[in-house]
Structure formats: C-alpha cells, structure tokens
Amino acid sequence: MAKYRKKPIVVEAEHFTEENKDKVFHWITCTCDPAFIDGKPVIKIQTLEGVMIASLGDYVIKGVNGEFYPCREDIFKATYELAEE
C-alpha cells in the first residue's frame, strides 16, 4: 500500500460563529441558504458532493477551485495552520 501526503496549499476560511454568521453567509459565493436547526443558525452550502450544512463552530473553507464547503472545528485545527493574517 502506498502512502501519500497532502500537498501544502493555502485556502481561505472563515470561522462560522454567532458573531460573524452574516459575514460568512455573504462571503460564500456559491448557492447557499441560511436556515435554523434546533433553533440554531446554520448555512446550507451547495458543494460538489451535494448540500452540506455548516453549524456554529464549523469553519467554511474556500477551496483551490473556488468551491466552498464546511469543516468541523476539530478537523480544521488538526489539518490547517494560519498562513498569514
């Protein structure tokens, strides 16, 4: 079995929090809809794999081809480090 390492790339991302939920929603340029699940704000994002839901605390990532997708905070922090402010 071969092993592979993820190529180092720089992506844009925003932390989806209560304080900046409007900023994140307006930053996303693909089809997305604000919604509520159990009374909490979420963003439904149209991705290449179908509709994915960004919940409060998730990061929303803009990929290398301009696509947007949500990522859980723990996975984001294990996978990415700050490249620049």
Closest CA to 45 of 67, 66, 63: 67
Amino acid, single-letter form, for residue 43: I
Query: How far is Cα 70 from Cα 61, in angstroms, rounded to an integer?
Result: 6
Residue ranges per structural domain of the chain? 12-79
Residues sharing a CB contact under 8 Å with residue 36, sequence separation 6 or more, in sequence order: 42
pTM for the complete prediction?
0.87
12-47 pLDDT, tens digit per residue, is 999 999 999 999 999 998 899 999 999 999 999 999
Over 90: is that where the pLDDT of 8 sits?
no
Over 90: is that where the pLDDT of 83 sits?
no
43-75 pLDDT, tens digit per residue, is 999 998 999 999 999 999 999 899 999 999 999
Q: Which DSSP string corresponds to 5-53?
A: -PPP---EEEE--TTTHHHHHHH--SSEEEEEETTEEEEEEEETTEEEE
